[in-house]
Amino acid sequence: MKKKNLFIIAEIGAKYGSISQIIKLIKDVKRIGADAVKFQTYNAKYLSDKVSLLPLKGKKITQHSFFLKNQLTHRDHKAIIATCKKAKLIWFSTPAHFTDVDYLEKFQPKIYKIGSDDLTNIPLIKYIAQKKKKIILSTGMSNLIDIKKAVKAIEEEGNKKIDILHCVSDYPTEIKNINLNVIKTLKKNFNYKIGLSDHTNNDLTSILATTMGAEIIEKHIIPSYELKNWPDAEASLDVNDFGKMIFKLRNIKKAYGSKKRIVFNCEKKWKIKAHKSLYATKNIKKGELIKPSNILIRRPKGKTRPIDYYKLINKKAKFDINKEDNLTLKIV
C-alpha cells in the first residue's frame, strides 16, 4: 500500500506584527519545508461584542480590541497570497463569517479551515461546504456528538472533502491535557484523514501524533521567541525549532520502512565484519580429535557459522590445521 505523505501546516494566524514580518515568515516557512501556511480572515465587528474578555493568563483585553488590532487588511491578504503563490506554497485561511467566505472566494482558495470556535456554527459550516472546497475541521471545545454533527452538515451539502484535526483549545496546552488518544477515536469514527492542531509549546506532541497515525500536523509559528507580545507566542515554535520539528516529522515517516525482517542493504557490510565464524585456537594434527577448547567463535564472518560448532567438536581432523585458520566443514 502506498504510504501517505504527512501534510504540515504552519499557522501564522492574524496580523501579529507588521506585514513585512509576515511576508518574511512565509518565505521562512517555505525554506524549512512546511507544506502550507494558514492565516485568519475576519472583520472584528462580526466576531465579538465589545466587552467580553479573552481568557489569556495575566492579560486583560477585550476580544473585540484584540481582533480589531490584529485583523488582516485587503492589502495584507493580497501580499500574503501573492507571496505564497510565488513561493509555490499552499495557503488557506479560517473565515469567521459569511462575508469572510465571500471575500476569500475572490482569491479562489483550494482549502477552507473551520476553527474550533465555529465547530457548532452549522450555518457557517454549510455555507463553506457549498463552495465544494476541501475543509479542514478543528475540533477543540467539542465532544464526539458535536464533531459528528459538523461532519454531517458538510456531507449534506454534497461535500466529502474533509480532514479532521484533534485539537485542545488552550494556549499553550499542557501535555497532560493534550489527550492524543482522541486521534484513535476519530480514526475509528470517521473515514477521513485525521490530524492534530497542536497548541503545546513543544514538538513532542506532534511527533507522537504522527506515530499514532496523524496525517496532518498544524502548529503555530512565530519569527522568534523574542517576540513575546505575539498573542500565540506561548503556543508556538519559532522558525528554527519549527524547522527542526519538520525534520523529525519527515524522518519518522522514513523510519517506518518495511515490515519485512530481512538483511537490509545498509547492514551487509557490517554482516561481513561483525558476524562470527569458527577459528582454530591451536595447531591441530591430522587424526587429532577436535576439542571445544580448540575452537574460538569470533569475528569476522568466514566459511563456517557458529552453529557449525556442533558438527566439528569431538570429530577427527582429516588434515593438519594451523592456529588461527578459519575452520571449514571439510576438515572432518
| Predicted local distance difference test score (pLDDT) of residue 195 | 98
| Predicted local distance difference test score (pLDDT) of residue 245 | 98
Q: Are both 323 and 243 inside the same structural domain?
A: no
Q: Which of 256, 277, 301 is the last residue of a domain?
A: 256
What CATH number is given to the structural domain containing 200? 3.20.20.70
List, for the chain, all residue ranges whose pLDDT scores fall below the cut of 70.
1-4, 16, 56-58, 231
| Predicted local distance difference test score (pLDDT) of residue 57 | 67
Is 314 a domain residue? yes
Q: What is the pLDDT of residues 252-288, one digit of tens each?
A: 878 888 889 999 999 999 999 999 999 999 999 999 9
Mapping DSSP onto H, E and C, the string for the chain reads CCCCCCEEEEEEECCCCCHHHHHHHHHHHHHHCCCEEEEEECCHHHHCCCCCECCCCCCCCEHHHHHHHHCCCHHHHHHHHHHHHHHCCEEEEEECCHHHHHHHHCCCCCEEEECHHHCCCHHHHHHHHCCCCEEEEECCCCCHHHHHHHHHHHHHCCCCCEEEEEECCCCCCCHHHCCCCHHHHHHHHCCCEEEEEECCCCCHHHHHHHHCCCCEEEEEEECCCCCCCCCCHHHEEEHHHHHHHHHHHHHHHHHHCCCCCCCCHHHHHHHHHHCCEEEECCCECCCCECCHHHEEEECCCCCCCHHHHHHHCCCECCCCECCCCECCHHHC
| Overall number of domains in the chain | 2
| Predicted local distance difference test score (pLDDT) of residue 279 | 97
Q: Are both 252 and 271 inside the same structural domain?
A: no
| Predicted local distance difference test score (pLDDT) of residue 2 | 42
| Predicted local distance difference test score (pLDDT) of residue 24 | 95
What CATH number is given to the structural domain containing 311? 3.90.1210.10
| Predicted local distance difference test score (pLDDT) of residue 1 | 33
| Predicted local distance difference test score (pLDDT) of residue 3 | 47
Q: Are both 142 and 286 inside the same structural domain?
A: no
| Predicted local distance difference test score (pLDDT) of residue 4 | 62
Structural domain boundaries enclosing 79: 7-256
Q: Which of 234, 256, 278 is the last residue of a domain?
A: 256
Q: Are both 130 and 269 inside the same structural domain?
A: no
Is 2 a domain residue? no
Q: What is the pTM of this model?
A: 0.86
Q: Are both 155 and 106 inside the same structural domain?
A: yes
Is 312 a domain residue? yes
Q: Are both 33 and 159 inside the same structural domain?
A: yes
Q: Are both 181 and 317 inside the same structural domain?
A: no
Q: Are both 91 and 37 inside the same structural domain?
A: yes
Is 302 a domain residue? yes
Q: Are both 177 and 309 inside the same structural domain?
A: no
Q: Which of 256, 285, 313 is the last residue of a domain?
A: 256
